[in-house]
A and B are shown apart, each in its own frame.
Chain A
Amino acid sequence: MNISEERFKKTIAVLIAVVTTLIAIVTYLQSDAGARDDAANRDTKRYSLESFGRQVSGDACVNFDYNSAYQAYYELDLLAVSAANAGDEAAAISPFTFAEPLYDEQGNFTDYAVADTFEYGASAVAVLFDYDHMQDGQDVVFKVYVDGEEDPSWRLIDKWVLGTSGGAEKPLSFDYSYANVLRPGFYTVEMYVDSHLGQSGSFVIGDP
């Protein structure tokens, strides 16, 4: 074997090595690209399916919101306007908000902690509401139900003296003793104006 033939063989061996290396790298890159392609294809189908499901769900919500809820509101609003135009306005009491009064170290009231559920130990819960179209002298009755049964000790019968419109609060508390706390249960408060139910709302006192 002469020198040039041997050099040729060595060159071929090096080229084979280089090509093998390149093929290995390209194979890896091709596989990586294939994996990304598969994942992208899958995600396309997945998001297509999910978006279709979301569209159907959204349509159901929108149908309800517009065709049921909004239409009912619109019709009732029209009836209310019609009644008001005919001079048949009833007292309007806003939905009740329930809150626990907070006091500083000197015992001065600072703020309300609004909630629907209060921990056991609350000694007072205030019923907050706005009112409109009320008239002084109207009969107002508050009834409090605990777990579905009226607690007569909470009943308040009074004449309205707060004017036509504004905000008011009705405290449910044991003012005479700090030892007493509201018992656990599901409380429902009803407010009647001239024997008509003006508003009702509920809150919960948790178990000890």
Chain B
Amino acid sequence: METESPEKSSRLETVVAVLIAVATVIGATVAWRASVASDSAGDADFAGLKASVNAEEPRALNFVNAYEHYGAYTSYSRYSRLGDAISQDLESGADTEEEAYLLDRQRAESYDLAKANQDLFPNRFLARDGNYRVDREMGESWADASREKDLSPDPHYAEADKLRAKTNLLLATLTVVAMSLVFYTLVEAAGERFHTVMVALGTLFLVGGTIAAIVVEFTG
């Protein structure tokens, strides 16, 4: 049975020690990048939640204000048309003087109430057909708010999910790199015949894991 010379064995031990050191450094680097990605994912989550708060506040306020205005417009429209209807009744002639007086009073009241409501909504959102465009008012308020604050949480959440996936992939490559340490550790235990096989397998995992980590880092 052929045995390795002490010189060859010593060289192998040195090579394996260097490879273990290299694998450890690469593993530490990959772990650092994974940690950075994880931290960035947390930051993106926070930015997303901040944008969610920013978005919900004006959304709620816009709805409340716009529907308040719409309510005022509805009252204005109702009293105004009621006044018109009473005017038409008056024009077609009241049966008695007392009825004419009452109708005139009701008409005046309706128009007064319409006028009181007219100042409670912005008339620039009235459409050509006379309807109130509550969607336009909310759209304008939303546009104003979006000029001042970030109101789009979705891109932040997508970024956070992407970074979390990157962290996981980096940790998966770290596992592959760690497998190389297993094979390097087994070099001594495997016996002389399998020294080269173990070193080759360890190096294969080390190189594969490193390449995968680089790809994930620059494309993830």
List residues of A whose CB falls within 8 A of some B CB.
Answer: 9-11, 13-14, 16-18, 20-21, 23-25, 27-28, 31-32, 35, 38-39, 42, 45-46, 49-50, 52-53, 56-57, 60-61, 63-64, 67-69, 72, 76, 79, 186, 188, 194-197, 202
List of B residues within 8 angstroms of A194 by Cβ:
92
Closest to A72 in B: B78
Nearest-CB residue, chain A, relative to B78: A72
Q: Do residues B74 and A60 form an inter-chain contact, with CB atoms below 8 A?
A: no
Assess whether B212 is interfacial by the CB under 8 Å rule: no
Q: Do A60 and B64 touch (CB < 8 A)?
A: yes
A-B contact pairs, 11 of them (CB 8 A): A24-B178, A27-B174, A27-B175, A35-B38, A35-B165, A35-B167, A38-B41, A46-B157, A67-B71, A195-B91, A197-B88
> Given the complex of chains A and B, what is the CA–CA distance between A68 and B68 in angstroms?
9
A153 to chain B, nearest CB (A): 22
Residues of B within 8 A of A28 (CB): 168, 171-172, 174-175
Interface contact B74-A68, CB-CB below 8 Å: yes
Count B interface residues, CB 8 Å: 52
Within 8 Å CB of A53, what residues of B? 55-57, 59-60
What distance in Å separates the Cβ of B117 from its nearest Cβ neighbour in chain A? 11
Most buried by B among A53, A63, A76: A53
Interfacial residues of chain B within 141-155, with CB under 8 A of chain A in the complex: 153
Q: Knowing that A28-B175, A69-B74, A79-B82 are A-B contacts, what are 8 other residue pairs whose CB atoms are under 8 Å apart, sorted by A's residue number?
A: A14-B189, A27-B174, A35-B38, A39-B161, A49-B49, A60-B66, A68-B75, A188-B129
Flag B169-189 by CB within 8 Å of A: 1 or 0 each: 001101100110111011011
CB pair A42–B45 under 8 Å, yes or no, is yes
Q: Which of B1-51 contact A (CB under 8 A)?
A: 34, 38, 41-42, 45, 48-49
Docked complex Cα distance between A31 and B53 (Å) = 28
CB distance from A144 to the nearest CB of B (A): 15
Would you call B70 and A68 a contact (CB within 8 A)? yes
Q: A20-B185, A53-B56 are in contact. Are A39 and B74 (CB under 8 A)?
A: no
Report the Cα distance A193→B167, complex, angstroms.
Answer: 75
Q: How far is the CB of B181 from chain A (nearest CB, A)?
A: 6
Given A13-B188, A49-B49, A69-B74, A60 contacting B63 (CB threshold 8 A):
yes
- Min CB distance, A101 to chain B, in Å? 23
Contacts of A16 in B (CB 8 A): 185
The smallest C-beta distance from A14 to any residue of chain B, in angstroms, reads 5
Q: Given A16-B185, A39-B164 in contact, is the A64-B70 Cβ separation under 8 Å?
A: yes
Question: How long is the Cα–Cα vector from A23 to B31 in the complex, in angstroms?
Answer: 14
Alpha-carbon gap, A15 to B57, bound state (A): 58
